[in-house]
Structure 1
Amino acid sequence: MRPSTHAFLHDNLWHLMRRLAVPGILGMLIVSINSFVDAVFVGRWVGTDALAGLALVFPLTIIVSSLVGLLSAGLASIASRSLGAGDPARQRDLLNLLLTLSLLLATVVSATGYGFARDWVTLLGATGTVLDYGAAYYEILVLGSFFTLFGLSSSMLIRATGQIRQAMTYSAVAVVANMVLAAALVKGLHLGVRGAAAGTGLAMLLYCGLNLQHLLRGRTALALAPLRLYFDWALTREIVAIGSSAFVMQATNFVRQVLIFKSVAHYGSAAELA
């Protein structure tokens, strides 16, 4: 057994909380910087209307965040409990089930998001050039839904084994990559809001790769099978049962944000939205 795994399973609870909480919090903060990075570059190099368009799209990103909460909470719980119980058979296809569920959910989100991007942004109160910028950004961003779903959820599998520092490191690499890519695409190639969205998608692709190589090379205590598509109704129901509370919490946040942004768009200006 790895020393880190032994410590995760047998150390004093309060000691573990102190040791794991800080990198865990930092990891979540690092990931949340992605939207801020896009906003900074778009606001500086594209303009106020473009930044207002990105601001209006923010509530729509909560849809994917809700699904991440659903998958990651359920999977992390199953992974941690199976690790504590010494049940490698239960761990074997967790990553493969995540791959399948991420593909299914991302297909629905991408299809509805890309096909109805203007309708979604209009629902939030956007008009004119703000609508054009918001729809253009969301069309590209939503095509990368799979990488966001799979990347963030697979990171939770790493965290579930107590390897918080490694998960934080991969998150930091992805954020730095997003900064570089967004600057290159928005400023260097003059792709505007589409470039910012593409930079985020490519950074999340890198994030998926980093998490996958960590999980599949046996660097965690989980006994994972080779990557393939896999589905299990019983495990899926358990994931949904555990993760539904996280999903509902995020979903209510989505409704609240929609109402707030719609009100600001109706009564305010593009500058106030930005």
Structure 2
Amino acid sequence: MGSGNIPALVVEFAVPAILGMLVNGAYNIIDSVFLGHGAGEIGLSAVSVATPIMTVFMAISMLIGAGGNALCALRLGEGKHSEAEHVLGNTFTLGVLVSILLAVLAHVPACIEPLLSLSSATDTVRPYARDFIQIISLGCVFQIVGMGINNFIRTCGAPNRAFLTMLIGAVGCTIFNAIFVMGMGLGVVGSAWATVCGQCISCITVVWYFTKTPGVPLRLRRKYLAMNGALVRKILALGTASFVLQIGAAISQVVTNYALVKYGAMSPIGADNALAAVGVVGRVAMFTILPLIGMSIAVQPLLGFNYGAKLWHRVKKTLAVGMLGATIIGTVLWVLIMVFAAQIIGFFGITDAALVDLSAFALRVNLIFLPIIGFQIVGSNYFQATGQPTKSIILSMTRQILFLVPLTLILPEVLPGILPMFDGLDAVYMAVPCSDFLAIFTVGAFVLVELHRLNKRIAESKSAAQLATSEQAAQPQE
């Protein structure tokens, strides 16, 4: 990672990372597709209500996994192998303990019922959403440990293995969904158990890699499982940016669900159909952005290793290649979305023509800035990968919390008065591109400052190298 061709390394890491993110995100898509065909709009509505809480589970997984992986990459770059293994062990233990706590809280009525209300669960949808969340929580340990530790496989230089551990789980999830939902007719409950089974299979393969596979660079050792307070604090500090990003997504989903129920009830399609149809748009949009997140994850170990090794020119080039790759991917996906939006919506079992038209238009509007969203994602992740958590946290908050939440609440009240051809429901999904536009410019400002700092360090390194060469040449020859 410190001497190889950077574009080649980025491609080597990016392909399995992107595929891995798509596979990981496929759990939600698979659930939605099977529920749409097997349980109709009520199943899709239940998943829409459950999505913010599931995103919180994902946020905690990213807090522990991404933070641990970032710290591990930095320690490997510094040549501290034993401390890197200690980070791996503590990440595993922390994931297990937190997942047990989440499973318990999900079954406490005083905790789960307010969350369902906060996520705008209607009386019809509430029992289905509750069942889905509580079953998913039982498998939370497989998600947090499996997904969190999976990042370390990539840092070990085995990105293809990291992808395969995710693929196995997604294939299992699909098979179990076909059996439980379509074959046995278990509906929402069957879909939830199918997800848990898929995550369990993936988790087993990840743990096997670090415990049984010969010759791995890092080993999950019993002596490093005991919690170390200093390491845990560093893991959580570096993972906070990813956590905030996902929590921001959860908060925006809660606010979006509230707006969908409120303004959907005022429209002909109704609140439950608004949750089902536009909720599908949100899941497709998130799935579409996953390849861009995969690119940012792919360059993270390269950035962290070279930053720790003080190879500033390689850090700068890795950032540039990562942003270029994300932009190319975003542009290709944008073309596909613009052309095939209606077909994508229909894939989820939505057959009503009015709902399909509304959802397709919402999807195109939602992702109108997709070609340049990758710049924002990779730019934000750069600061996490290089041990600058405060900046990364600030940038992670901009898109989802500082911009999207206020716009989701304000636009439905303001836009119809300015442009009468749009109603409040239209304005809900128009808030997303407005937020993207503002977030991209904010990240751009931070990146420009960081590039100036890197250029300065590169110049200092060159000067130091030239001085050392001159001093060596001036020494008397024997």
Same fold by TM (over 0.5)? yes
Matched residue, 1:50: 43
For residues 32-71 of structure 1, the aligned pairs below 5 Å read: 32-71=25-64
Secondary structure of the 2:53 match is helix
Matched residue, 1:30: 23
RMSD between aligned alpha carbons? 1.8
For residues 9 and 218 of structure 1, the distance between their equivalents in structure 2, rounded to whole angstroms, comes to: 24
Matched residue, 2:144: 149
The aligned amino acid for 1:272 is A
| Structure 1 range deviating more: 260-269 or 239-248 | 260-269
For residues 65 and 32 of structure 1, the distance between their equivalents in structure 2, rounded to whole angstroms, comes to: 11
RCO higher in structure (CA 8 A, sep ≥6)? 1
For structure 1, list consecutive stretches of 5 or more residues without a partner in the other structure: 1-7
1:119 equivalenced with 2:123 (yes/no): no
The aligned amino acid for 2:143 is T
The aligned amino acid for 1:257 is Q
Q: Deviations over 1:157-211 (max 9, x none)?
A: 1011221111111111110100001111122233221111111111111111101
For residues 108 and 234 of structure 1, the distance between their equivalents in structure 2, rounded to whole angstroms, comes to: 22
| Structure 1 range deviating more: 205-214 or 186-195 | 186-195
Residues 99, 150 of structure 1: 8 Å contact kept: yes
Instruction: Report the identity percentage.
Output: 27
For residues 183-202 of structure 1, the aligned pairs below 5 Å read: 183-202=178-197
User: Could you state the TM-score of these two structures normalised by the residue count of structure 2?
Assistant: 0.53
Deviation at 1:59, TM superposition (A): 1.3
Matched residue, 1:3: none
Residues 79, 222 of structure 1: 8 Å contact kept: no
| Structure 1 range deviating more: 218-227 or 199-208 | 218-227
The aligned amino acid for 2:142 is F
Matched residue, 1:272: 274
For residues 219 and 41 of structure 2, the distance between their equivalents in structure 1, rounded to whole angstroms, comes to: 50
For residues 169 and 150 of structure 1, the distance between their equivalents in structure 2, rounded to whole angstroms, comes to: 16
For residues 61-140 of structure 1, the aligned pairs below 5 Å read: 61-115=54-108, 116-140=111-135
Deviation at 1:72, TM superposition (A): 1.7
Deviation at 1:260, TM superposition (A): 0.5
| Structure 1 range deviating more: 102-111 or 131-140 | 102-111
Q: Deviations over 1:76-97 (max 9, x none)?
A: 1222233333323213333331
For residues 266 and 118 of structure 1, the distance between their equivalents in structure 2, rounded to whole angstroms, comes to: 20
Residues 88, 223 of structure 1: 8 Å contact kept: no
| Structure 1 range deviating more: 20-29 or 145-154 | 20-29
Residues 52, 254 of structure 2: 8 Å contact kept: yes
Deviation at 1:46, TM superposition (A): 1.6
1:171 equivalenced with 2:166 (yes/no): yes
Alpha-carbon spacing, 1:223–1:110, altered in 2? closer, same or farther (3 Å)? closer
Which of the numbers 153, 157, 160 marks the counterpart of 1:162?
157
Secondary structure of the 2:125 match is helix
Count, aligned residues:
267
Residues 125, 266 of structure 1: 8 Å contact kept: no
For residues 257 and 51 of structure 1, the distance between their equivalents in structure 2, rounded to whole angstroms, comes to: 15
Which of the numbers 12, 15, 18 marks the counterpart of 2:11?
18
Alpha-carbon spacing, 1:124–1:147, altered in 2? closer, same or farther (3 Å)? same
For residues 34 and 219 of structure 2, the distance between their equivalents in structure 1, rounded to whole angstroms, comes to: 42
Matched residue, 1:239: 235
1:249 equivalenced with 2:242 (yes/no): no
User: Could you state the TM-score of these two structures normalised by the residue count of structure 1?
Assistant: 0.91
Residues 142, 199 of structure 2: 8 Å contact kept: yes
The aligned amino acid for 2:226 is Y
